[in-house]
Amino acid sequence: MTKKIIDTNAAPAAAGPYSQAVKASGLVFVSGQLPINPDTGDMPESVAEQTAQSLANIKAILGAEGLDMTDIVKCMVFITDMDKFGDMNGVYAEAFDDAAPARSAYQVVRLPKDALVEIEAIAVERS
């Protein structure tokens, strides 16, 4: 098995001892993406805007490997307030159209940098 570290300036740099993504055995494991704008370092305020930014970061990381959102097979969403699930879900649904991957969603007590949403994904390489 070969393992490749994926790193792109089009998404926020890893803020700790982890990689933006790792490719192994035809799978791409994208680390949890906080809703940080890679150009400004800022984070939007609303759950909907944060969801859009986290998904944009995932899209940029996958794009570095020639993949896109249709290649995602599983997402994990972490949200600090399940009462805002509908706001997150509306934006999330637009990102996938009819090719929605499997997904789980968890309410968590707190996320890094006090984000409201964090999303990680697993994608599969096209054969």
Give, in degrees to the nearest 5, the angle at Cα 67 between 88 and 7.
85
Q: Please state the rounded mean pLDDT for residues 93-113.
A: 94
pLDDT-above-90 percentage for the chain: 93
Counting the structural domains of the chain, the total is: 1
3 state SS of 107? strand
98 band by pLDDT with thresholds 50, 70 and 90 = confident
Q: For residue range 17-39, list pLDDT tens digits in order.
A: 999 999 999 999 999 999 999 99
CATH of the domain at 37: 3.30.1330.40
90: containing domain? 3-124
Q: Please state the rounded mean pLDDT for residues 10-21.
A: 94
